Structure 1
Amino acid sequence: MQSFFGNKQGRPTAVSTVTVKKKVTVRPAAPPLPGLPPHKSARAGPSAPRPKSESRLRVPSRGSSPRPKSAGSASPARPRKTPAAERRVLPESDDSEEDALDAFDRKRPRLAGDGVTPDAGDVDVGRKVFCPSLVDERGEFGRGWAGFVSCEEAVRGEVRGWAGGQKGSMSKGGRDKYIPYFPQPGFENSDPIPSVDLRYPSGAVEKFILLTPHSASEYNPISELKAALGMILKHYIPPSHAHIFGTLDASDYFESAMPSRLQTPTSLSTPPPDGASPLPQTQQETIGEALRRALAPNRRDGPGFVKAIQRFNVALADLQEDGTLEAWLTSRDYRISRSEWSALINVVHDSAYNRVVAPFVEQLAHHPKHPEAVAAAISEKEDSYGELGNTFMSKVIEQTGLKPDSVFVDLGSGVGNCVLRAAVQAGCASYGFELLPVPSHCARRQLREVQRRWAMWCLDGNLSVECHEGDFRTHPEVRRRLTEADVVLVNNEVFPSSLNMDLTHLFLDLKEGATIVSLKPFVPEGFRMNESNCDSFAAILRSTSHQYFSDWVSWKGDGGRYYVQVVDRTQRVKYEEKMNGRRSRG
């Protein structure tokens, strides 16, 4: 055989001969499978052993090929040396290829939990958040639920008592906006109106109307009832009673009670139940399973739901009477993460908002009494009224480190959402100041309703909460609260420049280390201290910029930036010392 590169000099090619002997082992044929003919049996071995054979391979000689010869050549070539940087020695092992590769790379992959900082939302709250021993109906310790606005009042649009307000102040309501949720007889939108009582962890009882609204923008008692049940089952039931109560997660509301077609029934003689016939209730069925089955969209079993709620109320009352519930909520073993704590507060505060603030939404959105400068500024925005969302405020609490001994001040507090959230989520003293009459009225209403709801849920919110009406530039309480403040929030996105300048004068009273959170910065972009600006307010601030997202605010559909500014007068002092040193040397 000629070389692959040819024989340029025409000389005969030297041929080497290598003899290779192949050894063949004969395996006996496998026995045929029982019940099958011989030609359908399992794979059979060879009928006769293959004869031993010899094969001759012709390998080109050294002179005819630039490649080194293999073993067995008449004149073996010297093996090529591998450079030191490329030479690798495999371990002598019969293990898998992965073990061999591991010899080259000794870096082990990091496990998911090794050295990884957990998400801030998964960190434990780190303080006592429940106070079951301090709540009662009349509020002996300032934590009572008597007089709360009921679900029935919200559905009928006839809020009475302290929250009734003036005639005509409420938006038009009534049962004509609602339709039946359960299809069974007795659950129609007629008298007597279908309802069920829900027992809260404190022992308070509220009647929920079993109707659903025509429009998604209306108050939905069924959704609120589901959310309340889910939170109680998840955060209030001790592990020793989990087998009785079970759980009711948000995803369970949409799960079908029908068995999956992929599941094989244990008995072919018993067909799976259809949507019209209720599933048999067993002793092992938890309360959560009974609720989930009754609320399934393809079932909506009204009578079954009422029975499950009654069973829930009785079981919860037993936990309250024997002290098991209080012992669990105040035990050292109880844990609730920041994200779970925030979600629980959302449910409680949304209940209050839907009852006493939502009826004023139209008046809030089209407020007729803005000052001229503010009215001119907000006319360029997508909406004339906006609120900071729960996620935004939770992020502020996390970033600023608000805690029970802190003081929070909100300038331009609107209906009081952020003020109330800081008081319960961080447990700190909280004060709000709002110029406009309608938001101020809603804030006072919401404050009273939220505090009643805290008592119903045994939440340990700070009772040092105030919502004031008036211009924060001249209000007598503002200066006193600012001197105490650890965190000041100001939603100044629509404030004119003159109002922001007035704020800088007020902030001169802030203590060292106080934090200002704003939607417009008080430190200009690219600010560097020099002789011309060293006496400005920006010279005593350390500012960082952060992003918020589209669902964090209500007045626009996209995100934006907000600014966290910390009062730090030391940098101004250092600059002055530096300048004095230069003058002395000059």
Structure 2
Amino acid sequence: MRHNALPEALQKRIASDRQAAAAAQSPKPGKVTKKARMQPSTSSRVRDRAVPAAVTRIEDEDEDDADDAALDRLARSGSSLQVTMDEYHVPRVIVPEPIYDPLAADLRAKAWPCISSRMLVESASIPYLPFFDGLEDHPVVTLEYPAPDAKEEFVLLVPKMADEYDPISDLLHAVRAMVSNYVPDNQKARFGSLESLETASNAGAPLDKAQRPAARVDMSRSSSTSTLHEGSASPAPPEDSILRSFTKARNRRNGPLFVQTVDRFNAQIRALKKDGTLTSHLRQVGENHGVPEDLWRTIQEQVYARVAAPHVDSLKHYEAFSDSVYGEMLPPFLNEVERIAHLGTSSVFVDLGSGIGNCLLQASLQTGCEAYGCEYMPAPSSIASKQLVEASHRWRMWHLKAGPRVEAWDDDFTESTRVRDVLRRADAILVNNYAFRPQTNDVLSLLFLDLKEGAKIFSLRPFVAPDFRLTERTLSSPQAILLDRSMVRSFTQEREAQSEVGTAE
């Protein structure tokens, strides 16, 4: 589920690269000039698309210092995707308008969610085993979500394999996101301190069946569908907060306590939903800040776990060293793209080679923009369509409103009329051209000639080669036309100025 985590070996290599870079720059402290931007190390490329090798921008020539600093930050972020970066946020209306429809409750009950945690576990091809003591073999609880009538069923089991989806951890992450972002500070005492809630995965650590008693009785006092074993632990004492009780139950593998704590949490959330507190607070959060990062990340990971993760093996079937190489960019990278492009509710974002659609979902929910993607490969394109459906359900469950339109097209973007039409309106274009053939890049260069003034292109390789020279022979080439129409900046073109790091402009 934690698809944005870097392997430990790669983290160590990145840390070593950063230390070496810092040591090289330490004798000449000062401002980094425009000419001193360095190309990210090849060691920082993750899953083929994680790091920008170049940023090509079509824009006005009077660039301000803030965008220059953002470009520098983006270049440096390539050295470590784990580096802490400021969250990009767009204050806006994030609460959907109420629907006054007598059938709305029935429709919501049938639609939420598209793929529940319970469905995901029960359809998995890997074994899921008991984690808690004192529960039946297939314990199920229902978790309340912020939107009216929104609920989800979770099976309190863990996978036998350590790197698989853990429904218990998923439930706890949802609990944390709700308390952190939907509950006003003066009401948080109902739940306790967020620091007391542990959410790490327990996948690969099932309960030893020899420890479980044989006798069982129904848990009639709980609203969940789980059952208790006879003689199991008593409910939480009154002095334990809800969040602390979650952690205590999980650490002690106390199933009855965990189930009762879910009931306590649901009761508080229902009360805050009924009196309008959750919606009122969320509206203020949106107007003052936008969708918080930990919230859109939680939702993004829920969607990925239910749609993409079970089919990740199908994404590995592609032709190497061709235009059909697959990979996904990670959230910190797109966060910086959004910042540089100043994406907002009136913006149009286009991802050419959009893969499974992660960037589209992030941009739409994080900034409220229109988001369009085009993917030629069948496997990721199919997953993208399913992710968009699941995301639309989950946004409603979390009582959130994303951008007005988000679409993923199964098409060849060099021939698609839909792509040509939307590019004319685009404010930011993201293109994974790292492994593209020169012919494909030439076609893209011609497509970009129709972009409006101020549009920005973010590419993994520069469309104008570092050694390109304008001559009579190259005058009519796509690179010459693009160079003539735009101001091109790329990290690769400025490597010859690395010796000037630290000098003043």
Q: CA deviation at 1:450?
A: 0.4
Query: Do structure 1's residue 468 and structure 2's residue 409 form an aligned pair?
Result: yes
SS in structure 1 at match of 2:412: coil
Residues 146 and 452 of structure 1 are in contact (CA less than 8 Å); yes or no, is this contact kept in structure 2?
Answer: yes
Provide structure 1 residue ranges, at least 5 long, that are not aligned to the other structure. 1-116, 158-172, 255-275, 548-560, 562-586
User: After the TM superposition, which residues 133-212 of structure 1 pair with which residues of structure 2 at under 5 Å, given as runs?
Assistant: 133=98, 138=104, 145-146=111-112, 148-157=114-123, 173-174=124-125, 177-182=127-132, 184-187=133-136, 190=137, 193-203=138-148, 204-212=150-158
Paired residue for 1:129?
A: 94
- The answer to whether residue 377 in structure 2 is matched with residue 436 in structure 1 is yes
Contact 1:233 1:246 survives alignment (8 Å) = no
Q: With structure 1 as the length reference, what TM-score do the two structures score?
A: 0.58
Question: 1:147 and 1:328, CA in 2 relative to 1: closer, same or farther beyond 3 A?
Answer: closer
More helix by share: 2
Alpha-carbon shift at residue 216 of structure 1 (Å): 2.6
Q: Distance in 1 between matches of 2:339 and 2:333?
A: 10
1:321 aligns with 2:271: no
Cα 1:337–1:473 shift into 2, 3 Å: closer
Report the counterpart of residue 363 of structure 1 in structure 2: 314
Sequence identity percentage = 36
Q: Does 1:309 align with 2:262?
A: yes
Q: Which residue of 2 aligns with 1:486?
A: 427
Equivalent in the alignment of 1:281:
237
Measure, in 2, the Cα distance between the counterparts of 1:124 and 1:410.
20
Deviation, structure 1 residue 125: 3.8
CA distance in 1: counterparts of 2:356 and 2:400, whole angstroms: 21
- Change in Cα spacing, 1:433 to 1:334, as seen in structure 2 (3 Å) is closer
2:174 match: 228
Work out the CA distance in 2 between the residues paired with 1:424 and 1:461.
4
1:216 partnered with 2:162: yes
CA-to-partner distance for each residue in 1:462-497, whole Å, 9 max, x for gaps? 131111111111112111101011111101111111
Q: Which residue of 2 aligns with 1:506?
A: 447
- The 1:244/1:511 distance shift into structure 2, 3 A limit, reads same
Change (3 A) 1:153 1:428: same
Is 1:404 aligned with 2:354?
A: no
What displacement does 1:143 show?
13
Determine which of 330, 342, 354 is the counterpart of 2:305: 354
Amino acid at match of 1:212: V
In structure 1, the residue matched to 2:322 is 377
Which amino acid in the other structure matches residue 119 of structure 2? Answer: E
Q: Which residue number in structure 1 is paired with residue 208 of structure 2?
A: none
Which structure would you say has the larger Rg?
1
State the one-letter code of the partner of 2:248. Answer: R
In structure 2, relative to structure 1, the CA distance for the partners of 1:351 and 1:280 (3 Å cut) is closer
Alignment partner, residue 186 of structure 2: 240
Greater relative contact order (CA < 8 Å, ≥ 6 in sequence):
2
Deviation (angstroms), 1:129: 2.8
CA contact (8 A) 2:142 2:154 kept: yes
Equivalent residues of 1:132, 1:326 under 8 A apart: no
Q: Secondary structure at the match of 1:206?
A: strand
Residue matched to 1:389: 330
Distance 1:148 1:247, change over 3 A: farther
2:399 is matched with 458
8 Å contact from structure 1 (residues 287, 311) kept in 2: yes
- The Cα of 1:229 is off from its aligned counterpart by 0.8
Quick one: structure 1 residues 332 and 230, their matched pair in 2 at CA, closer, same or farther if it must change by over 3 Å? closer
Change (3 A) 1:432 1:124: closer
Counterparts of 1:139 and 1:453, CA distance in 2: 16
Q: In 1, Cα distance between the equivalents of 2:93 and 2:290?
A: 12
Deviation of 1:329 (Å): 1.5
CA distance in 2, matches of 1:333, 1:478: 31
Cα distance, 1:546 vs structure 2: 5.8
Cα distance in 2, alignment partners of residues 412 and 460 from structure 1? 25
User: Structure 2: how far apart are the matches of 1:135 and 1:287?
Assistant: 34
Question: Any conservation in 2 of the 1:529–1:539 contact (CA below 8 Å)?
Answer: no
SS at match of 2:487: strand
Contact 1:201 1:456 in 2 (8 A): yes
Aligned residue identity for 1:153: M
Q: CA separation of 1:142/1:476 partners in 2, compared to 1, >3 Å: closer, same or farther?
A: farther
- Contact 1:443-1:467 at 8 Å conserved across structures: yes
Partner of 1:540: 485
TM superposition shift of 1:220: 1.5
One-letter amino acid matched to 2:415 = T
* CA contact 1:246–1:287 (8 Å) conserved in 2: yes
1:505–1:232 Cα change, 3 Å:
same
AA paired with 1:282? P
- 1:541–1:135: structure 2 CA closer, same or farther, 3 Å change rule? farther
Q: SS where residue 364 of structure 1 aligns? A: helix
State whether residues 242 and 265 of structure 2, in contact with CA within 8 Å, keep that contact through their aligned partners in structure 1. yes
Deviation string, structure 1 residues 150-206 (Cα, Å, up to 9, x no partner): 11111122xxxxxxxxxxxxxxx34x5112111x2324xx3xx11111000113111
Mapping of residues 522-537 of structure 1, within 5 Å: 522-525=463-466, 535-537=480-482
| Correspondence for 1:73 | none
**Partner Cα distance (2:331, 2:429) in 1:** 17
**Structure 1 residues 488 and 153: alpha-carbon distance in aligned structure 2, compared to 1, 3 A threshold:** same
CA distance in 2, matches of 1:145, 1:472: 32
Question: Are the structure 2 counterparts of residues 420 and 141 from structure 1 closer, same or farther at C-alpha, using a change threshold of 3 Å?
Answer: farther
For 1:307, give the aligned amino acid.
Answer: Q
Amino acid of the structure 2 residue aligned with 1:457: W
Q: Distance in 2 between matches of 1:393 and 1:123?
A: 10
Inter-partner Cα distance in structure 1 for 2:196 and 2:335: 21
Change (3 A) 1:482 1:142: farther
Q: Distance in 2 between matches of 1:402 and 1:149?
A: 30
Matched, 1:343 2:333: no
Contact 1:122–1:337 (Cα < 8 Å) also in 2? no
Deviation at 1:134, TM superposition (A): 5.7
TM-aligned CA deviation for residue 353 of structure 1: 1.6
Matched residue SS, 2:488? strand
Report the Cα offset of residue 120 of structure 1: 6.3
Gaps of 5+ in 2: 1-69, 71-83, 201-231, 496-505
Equivalent position amino acid for 1:360 in 2: H
Instruction: Give me the CA root mean square deviation.
Output: 3.3
Amino acid at match of 2:464: V
Q: Look up the equivalent residue of 2:158 and give its one-letter code.
A: T
The number of aligned residues is 375
Counterpart residue type for residue 194 of structure 2: L
Give 3-state SS (helix, strand or coil) of 1:179's partner. strand
Between the aligned partners of 2:361 and 2:131, the Cα distance in structure 1 is 33
Q: 1:336 Cα deviation (Å)? A: 4.5
Inter-CA distance 422–124: structure 2 relative to 1 (3 Å threshold):
closer
